[in-house]
A and B are shown apart, each in its own frame.
Chain A
Amino acid sequence: MATEVGPTPVKAPASGGAPIHHGPKGVGEDNKILSQGKWASWLLAPTIIALAVVIVYPIVSAIVMSFQKDAGLDPATGLFTAGGPAGVQNYVNWIAQQCSAPAGGTVACPPGTLGAQFWSATATTFFFTVVTVAFETVLGFWMAMIMARTFKGRSMVRAAVLVPWAIPTAVTAKLWFFIFAFEGIANKMFNTSILWTGSEWPAKWAVVIADVWKTTPFMALLILAGLQMIPAEVYEAAKVDGATAWQRFRLITLPLVKPALMVAILFRTLDALRMFDLPYILTGGANNTTTLSILVINQIRQGFNAAAALSTITFIIIFLVAFIFVRFLGANVVEQSGATGKGKK
C-alpha cells in the first residue's frame, strides 16, 4: 500500500491531476507539453509528409494494383486480355503456382516460367538469410571480441573492417565475380576447377561468401559497441571469483551483449530478406539463386499487377519476420531486466 501511495503526489503535477493545489504551475506544465506537441508536429511534418509520399503512397498503390488483372497479350493464348478487378487471383497464382491456360482457367505453371519460381525463390531467400546471418553473427562476434581487446595495432584492425563495408555492393559483386571466375584466384588458390557461377551449390556459396565478406564488419561493429558497454569491473570481479574464460563468456558477455546482438541480427535479417544486388550481379539469379526481390524485378516487365502482388507478399513476409523478432526481442529484454532485479535482491 505504502509503495502505491508514494509516487502519486510526484506524478500528479506532471499529469495535471492536481490543478487546485498547484493551480498556475499545473497549467504551465500543461501548456508546455501542449506547445511542445505543437512544435513537434511542425518539425516532424516535413519528414512525415515526405515519407508518406515516397513510401506510404507506393505501398497503398501496390496493394491496389495487386488486386487488378494485368492487361495485355496473354503469353499463353496470344489473345488480348483486358484488365479489371482480379480479386485475389494474382496472389493465388503465385502461391499455388497457377498460370492462365490457353483454354481459359488455370493450369500449373510450366517449369522455367516465373510463375513456377515462387516457392523456390522463397526457399532461396530464406536459405541466404539463415546461412549468411548465422555466419555473420558467429564471425562478427569473434571479430568484435578481438577488437575489444587492447593490443598494438587495434585501431588499424578497426579501420580495416570498414573497408568491405565502404565498398558498394555492386562493386563487391563484380569483385567476387572476378575472384570466382573459372581462371580466377579462388580456383588457383585451392587448386580446384569449379565453375562457381555455373551450377547450383557453388553459385549459392559464392553469394553467401561475398555477402558474409561485405556485411560481417557491420555486425562486428554493432556487437563491439555492445561489448564496450560492459564495465570492466564485472570481468575483474568474475576473475577474482575464479570464473573460467568460458564461464565469463557464457555468464557475463553473452547475456549483457544480448540486446545489442539481437538488434544487429534483426537489422541483418531484414536486410538479407530483401537481398537483390549481390545475386543479381554475381549470378544473374541463375542456378537457383533467384531471391524474391529478383523475381519481382523479373516480373515487372511482364505485368505490373502480378509483380505488385509478389512485392506485397515479399513485404508481408519481411513484416512477419520483423514482428516475430520484435516479440522475441521484447520478451528477452523483459526476462533480462527481471534477472538483474533478482540479482540485486
Chain B
Amino acid sequence: MTAATSAATTLRAEQDRGRRNAQNKEKWAQGRTYISAAVILIWCLAPAYWMVVTAFREVGFTYDTSLLPSHVTLDNFNTAFDTSFGNRFGQALLNSVFIGGVVTLVSLVIGVFAAYALARLNFRFKYLVLGFILGASMFPGVALITPLFQLFTNIGWMGTYQALIIPNISFVLPLTVYTMTSFFREMPWELEESARVDGCTQGQAFRKVIMPLAAPAIFTTAILAFISSWNEFLIASQLSSDATQPVTVAIANFAGAQPNQVPYTAIMAAGTIVTIPLVILVLVFQRKIVAGLTAGAVK
C-alpha cells in the first residue's frame, strides 16, 4: 500500500514536473528570443548611436566615453560645413544629390522598359539577357576604372559630372532592371488583359492600368538606385575633382585644422548629416525596401 501510494505520488510529481518543465521551457525560449533580439538591436544600433552622440560633443571631449550625450554642442555641424580647411562638404552634398538624381532618373527610364520585357514577354535569349544584366551588377568597379581613367584624361572629362554619372549608370542600371523585373513578375497582369478586352490598346493598358499599380515598385526601385549611387566611392574617388566630388569622397578626405589631428567630431557630424535622411527614408519605406532588396534572390 505504501509502495502504491508512493508510486502514485512519484507519478503525479513527475507529471507536475513535466508540465512545469514545458512551461519553463516555453518561458525560457521566449526569454532567449528577447535576449537575442536585444543583442541584435545593440549590435546594429550602438555604432550608429556612437556616431550621432559624438557629432553633438564638444571637440575637447572627443574621447569622452559616457554613453549618454555629454558636453552637447552644435559646433561640429558648423565645422563640417566650414570651407576654411579646404573641405567642401556643402558642395559635396549638392553634388551627391545631383549625381544620384540623374543616375536614378536615367536608370529608371531606361530600365523600366527592359524590366517590362523581361517580366512579361516571351522571347528567345531571355535568360541570356537576364544573366548578362545580373553579371553586370556583380562587376568589379576596378575593371572599368582603368580604361575610363585614360579615356576621360584624353578627352578632358576628368573631374566633370558626366565622368561620374556615366560609370555610375553601369552599377545602378543592372540593379534597377533586376529589382523591377522581380517586382513586375508579381503584379496582377490579368488586369491588363481585361483592360484590353474592354478595348484599350496595349500602350493604353500599360499607361492607365499598369503604371498606377507599378508606381510603388518603381518608387522603391528609385530609392534603392539612389542609395546605391549615393554610396558610390571607388569611381568618384578617382575621377572627381574638388568641385564635383560627392559626399563619400568629401568625408573620406575630410581635413582638420591641424594636419596631425583627425577632426573626429566634425567627421561624425558630416556622417550624421549624410546618414540621417537615408535612415529616415529606409525606416519609412522599410517593408517595400526589404521586398526590393530580397526580390529575385529567393526565387
Contact = CB atoms under 8 A, between A and B. Distances in A.
A314 B63 contact: no
B283 A162 contact: yes
Interface stretch (A73-81, A98-106, A200-208, A293-301): A293-301
Interface stretch (B10-18, B74-82, B214-222, B228-236): B228-236
Contacts, number: 276
Interface string A22-52: 0000000000010011011111101110110
Nearest to A214: B47
Contacts of A226: 298
B41 A178 contact: no
Given A160-B45, A167-B275, A46 B110 contact: yes
Interface stretch (A4-12, A215-223, A232-240): A215-223
B274 A307 contact: no
A168 B63 contact: no
Interface residues of B, number: 87
Contact of B251 (A40, A170, A217, A224): A170
B44 A168 contact: no
Contacts of B238: 297, 300
A321 to B, nearest CB: 10
A194 interface: no
Interface in B104-162: 110-111, 113-114, 116-118, 121-124, 126, 129, 132-133, 135-136, 138-151
B286 A159 contact: yes
Contacts of A171: 51, 248, 251, 271, 274-275
Interface stretch (A57-65, A127-135, A327-335): A57-65
Contact of A260 (B63, B114, B278, B297): B297
A179 B147 contact: no
B225 interface: no
A161 interface: yes
Contacts of A174: 251-252, 254, 267-268, 271
B117 A40 contact: yes
A293 B145 CA distance: 10
A51 B40 CA distance: 39
Contacts of B37: 146, 151, 153-154, 157
Nearest to A38: B123
A91 to B, nearest CB: 14
Contact of B123 (A40, A65, A157, A273): A40
Interface in B63-113: 63, 65, 110-111, 113
B124 A37 contact: yes
B54 interface: yes
A162 B274 contact: no
A130 to B, nearest CB: 17
Contacts of A213: 43-44, 47
A318 interface: yes
Contacts of B271: 167, 171, 174-175
Contacts of A159: 283, 286
Contact of A169 (B110, B173, B233, B283): B233
A96 interface: no
A160 B40 contact: yes
B290 interface: yes
Contact of B142 (A39, A260, A293): A293
A142 B43 CA distance: 13
Given A46-B110, A47-B110, A168-B230, A36 B140 contact: no
3 nearest A-B residue pairs (beta carbon): A170-B248, A54-B170, A47-B114
Given A167-B278, A171-B251, A260-B298, 6 more contacts: A50-B169, A168-B230, A178-B264, A259-B298, A297-B145, A300-B146
Interface of B: 30, 33-34, 36-37, 40-41, 43-45, 47-48, 50-51, 54, 63, 65, 110-111, 113-114, 116-118, 121-124, 126, 129, 132-133, 135-136, 138-151, 166-167, 169-170, 173-174, 177, 227, 230-231, 233-234, 237-238, 247-249, 251-252, 254, 262, 264, 267-268, 271, 274-275, 278-279, 281-283, 286, 289-290, 293-294, 297-298
27 contacts: A39-B121, A40-B123, A43-B117, A55-B170, A61-B151, A151-B34, A158-B290, A161-B40, A163-B45, A163-B279, A164-B44, A164-B48, A168-B274, A170-B231, A174-B267, A175-B48, A178-B50, A183-B63, A213-B43, A221-B293, A222-B293, A263-B298, A277-B233, A293-B142, A311-B143, A314-B140, A322-B135
Interface of A: 33, 36-37, 39-44, 46-48, 50-51, 53-55, 57-59, 61-62, 65, 142-143, 146-147, 149, 151, 153-171, 173-179, 181, 183-185, 188-189, 213, 217-218, 221-222, 224-226, 229, 259-260, 263-264, 267, 270-271, 273-274, 276-277, 280-281, 292-293, 296-297, 300, 304, 307-308, 311-312, 314-315, 318, 322
